[in-house]
A and B are shown apart, each in its own frame.
Chain A
Amino acid sequence: MAARKAASGKLALAPVLDLNEASVLHGQLMSMRGKNIVIDASAVERAGVQCVQVLVAGAAAWQADNKSFLVEKASDAFETTMQLIGISEANLVAKEI
């Protein structure tokens, strides 16, 4: 467990999570595979579905890797968008097992 905790990372989401950002976010997540990760969603002003797709796929990947994937400090816009498009917290969280 200690060894796992040694590798961890933080990812701050951009304010605008639009089509262009989806590829960027995908690249960032791919480069952080294998680490526990904390996503900072406090700056998000607009979240598009494609970025959410990447985040949900990310959560599933982290779950499969047995690493933790946590979204914290979500902005109102981020949270409301998640509710609006029917994505629950469970879709976005992978817990270290």
Chain B
Amino acid sequence: MDMNEIKEIFFQECEEQLAELESGLLKLNDGDRDPETVNAVFRAVHSIKGGAGAFGLEELVAFAHVFETTLDCVRSNKLEPNQDVLKVMLRSADVLADLVTCSRDGGSVEESRTRGLVKELEALANGEAPPAAEAPKAAKPAAAPAATPTDDSGFQPIPFTFDGFGEEEDAVEQFTYEVTFKPARELYAKGNEAALLLRDLSRLGEMSIACDTDQLPALESMDPEASYFGWKISITTPKSEDEVRAVFEFAEWDCELEVKLAEVSADEELPMVPVPFDLSALDEEPAEIVEPQPKAVAAVEAVSSVAKAVNAAVEKKESAAAAAAAATQNNAVAAASSAGQTIRVDLDRVDRLINLVGELVINQAMLSQSVVENDTNGTSNINMGLEELQQLTREIQDSVMAIRAQPVKPVFQRMSRIVREVADMVGKQIRLVTEGENTEVDKTVIDKIAEPLTHMIRNAVDHGIESPEKREAAGKDPEGTIKLSAKHRSGRILIELIDDGGGINRERVKQKAIDNDLISPDANLSDEEIDNLIFAPGFSTADKISDISGRGVGMDVVKRSIQALGGRISISSRPGLGSTFTMSLPLTLAVLDGMVVTVAGQTLVVPLTAIVETLQPEASAIHSFGANQRLISIRNSFCPLVDVGRILNFRANQANPVEGVALLVESEGGGQRALMVDAIQGQRQVVIKSLEANYTHVPGIAAATILGDGRVALILDVDAVVGASRGQSLKPEMSLAAAG
């Protein structure tokens, strides 16, 4: 494992920590005052700082340090996390995320942004914030910042001076603290050593110690690697409580630690033994010990998994496997608050497994087919065994797919930042409410949904929600709400974006569409059709092109991105009440439930999700229209009939519709088309094989698959086929609309 790989792990962990940070801050914002939430937030920043220190990412360390210091004030109840404070914290989380990104991908965060926030954070920590930020605990000595790795990077650590503690820190003033320290097993497992922590503590002043050995079991039943000893320590020092705590800074999560100012009459349960001042005997550390210099230890140990790996790389004492195991184990510890046991697996490995399972499915289908062909009565043992195999294969496939499934939470969290930023920019008050964040969907879908969703959120903030004044005038809450929700519905994921803004101004949309030659001036369109015009290429209703929602290439790009994922998007809007965008996406891009059909001797697969119904056309239902167009009459309405074989150039002339089967499909914009095929073979789940990767892009074809008989079947791109048919029939349609 080289340094780059270790760094990569660090950045992956940063992503997780940032997500923790944001979700914690949002919880606090919603009024959650659970100390564990505050701790989780603090821990997240603390871990990022520690890991960043190990890699010398000074800018990141410096900012995280200031952020952490302010969070510590919240943690110790010196600062009330009210809305104003949390606003600064949330913006700080955004900057921290940017700094992490810049550290990973290069580039830099605008210095003015960082500097401005540092000042705000410092002000909060200094108690200059809102009135709620008074310091309740007056008896405590000034808490000087613990570690100061920031000295040479432009940030000055802030000396805390809380009201009620007016006196300057006096060099000769001594405090006596009672420290209770009980390490957990993990403390040792992560390479920390209690004796070294006690050594560092003893260097702060005059120390007496009592070791509690009561927990130590009998020799034969003890676990040599467990932790049984605990200590009660009394230390007299000029240092502040925070400085005393700082000794345990990087082991804090792996021990029980209590530091408090000593009571006047300390009631000792254990006899205290003075610790000698001269600890020089402990200073000589043998060369072969895996024990970096204390400072390095501190920095490295913060992100413990990275630390293990760093040790492995630097000391070359641990094998890569051991480091990886440590990384996994410690990652689980770090994420203990959020998840159970997890392992980190390279995505390529999962994809390889998915491909192999895909091959297995195909192979099993081929085997089944040849057995069926040779065993017509279907009663042989082989046949029955094959059925079980088929079921097992399906289960394996589902399980493998589940590995790639991820909750949409990270994407949703990113959206809350966008809402914050854009709302600030346009001077609106907007609250983002998320629902169903734990709904899982394939990782590819998650990766690809972020961009269109971002665009839609920006649009909703910029155009959807009105200004506070307008809202108030309309009798609404000046704070607008955008709701983002996800749920599973019939094998797909449904993502809804609902705003309580003004809704679509249909008059303006229609006028714009007329101005842009998208519709004819006298076209008679339903409300739904007008709403859907916003998805038309080049459509923008913003009178001014803003930085926020782009240059009018917005919603059609969104629509295309969604469609490229095999999804659909629709909008419904109520004037004055807001709009709802609904996206329906497949759960996975690796398999597909399809209808296997025959067209001009070729086998094609039509995605089942696109098919509304199938029907056998009767001659009386077919109507010719123009030179080449035909319509089919279905329950008293007309639907264009599209000959798939002709569109794909499988045959020169249109086939006779009466001899085939019509598949009624729903295409973009909600319009329906009847796709004509020669025959239906059946429904089947197929493994999607990319045509682009294996051959080249073919218009009208989305991908390919391998069938049970070993033949390649093409998967129809329904929207492209419908689009092509519309290309031929677009003009007549428009004139139809114009004719009313």
Residue numbers of A with Cβ under 8 A of B are 15-16, 18-19, 22-23, 25-26, 29-30, 33, 45-50, 52-54, 56-58, 60-61, 64, 75-77, 79-81, 83-88, 91
* A53, B211: Cα distance in complex, Å: 11
Q: Are B222 and A26 in contact (CB under 8 A)?
A: yes
| Sample of 5 A–B contacts (CB below 8 Å) | A16-B288, A50-B188, A61-B220, A85-B229, A86-B275
Q: Are A45 and B284 in contact (CB under 8 A)?
A: yes
Q: Are B282 and A46 in contact (CB under 8 A)?
A: yes
Other A-B contacts than A19-B225, A54-B224, A56-B213, 20 sampled, CB-CB below 8 A, are: A22-B224, A26-B219, A48-B195, A49-B193, A50-B226, A50-B227, A52-B195, A52-B229, A54-B222, A57-B219, A60-B216, A61-B219, A83-B275, A83-B276, A84-B209, A84-B276, A85-B198, A86-B273, A88-B273, A91-B211
Choice from A15, A29, A81, A86 contacting B219 with Cβ under 8 Å: A29
Q: Is the interface of A mostly helix, strand, loop or mixed?
A: helix
* CB of B707 within 8 Å of the partner chain: no
Contact (A85, B286) CB under 8 Å given A49-B195, A61-B219: no
* CB of B217 within 8 Å of the partner chain: yes
Taking the closest CB of chain B, its distance from the CB of A73, in whole angstroms, is 15
Q: Mark B86-129, 1 if CB is under 8 A from A, else 0.
A: 00000000000000000000000000000000000000000000
* A5, B85: Cα distance in complex, Å: 73
Output the residue of A56, A64, A79 with the most chain B CB within 10 A. A56
Choice from B189, B217, B285 contacting A46 with Cβ under 8 Å: B285
The number of residues on chain B lying at the interface, defined by a beta carbon within 8 Å of a beta carbon of chain A, is 40
The 8 A-B pairs with the shortest beta carbon distances in the complex, nearest first, are A86-B211, A76-B281, A61-B219, A22-B224, A86-B209, A26-B224, A80-B281, A57-B219
Taking the closest CB of chain B, its distance from the CB of A1, in whole angstroms, is 24
* A58, B218: Cα distance in complex, Å: 8
* A85, B188: Cα distance in complex, Å: 15
* CB of B199 within 8 Å of the partner chain: yes
* CB of B202 within 8 Å of the partner chain: yes
* CB of B67 within 8 Å of the partner chain: no
Q: Are A81 and B222 in contact (CB under 8 A)?
A: no
Q: Is the interface of B mostly helix, strand, loop or mixed?
A: loop
* A46, B286: Cα distance in complex, Å: 8
* A88, B228: Cα distance in complex, Å: 17
Which chain B positions have C-beta within 8 A of A56?
A: 213, 216
Which chain A positions have C-beta within 8 A of B282?
A: 46, 77, 80-81, 84
B193 to A, closest residue via Cβ: A48
A49 to B, closest residue via Cβ: B194
* A69, B198: Cα distance in complex, Å: 27
Which chain B positions have C-beta within 8 A of A54?
A: 219, 222, 224
Choice from B199, B210, B286 contacting A45 with Cβ under 8 Å: B286
* A75, B284: Cα distance in complex, Å: 12
B194 to A, closest residue via Cβ: A49
Output the residue of B216, B231, B281, B288 with the most chain A CB within 10 A. B281
Q: Are B222 and A57 in contact (CB under 8 A)?
A: yes
Which chain A positions have C-beta within 8 A of B211?
A: 85-87, 91
Choice from A23, A33, A85 contacting B194 with Cβ under 8 Å: A85
Q: Are A57 and B210 in contact (CB under 8 A)?
A: no
* A68, B286: Cα distance in complex, Å: 31
* A83, B126: Cα distance in complex, Å: 41
Q: Are B193 and A57 in contact (CB under 8 A)?
A: no
* A56, B224: Cα distance in complex, Å: 11
Which chain A positions have C-beta within 8 A of B345?
A: none
* A85, B278: Cα distance in complex, Å: 14
Which chain B positions have C-beta within 8 A of A52?
A: 195, 229
Taking the closest CB of chain A, its distance from the CB of B184, in whole angstroms, is 12
A54 to B, closest residue via Cβ: B224
Q: Are B222 and A53 in contact (CB under 8 A)?
A: yes
Choice from A29, A45, A53, A85 contacting B231 with Cβ under 8 Å: A85
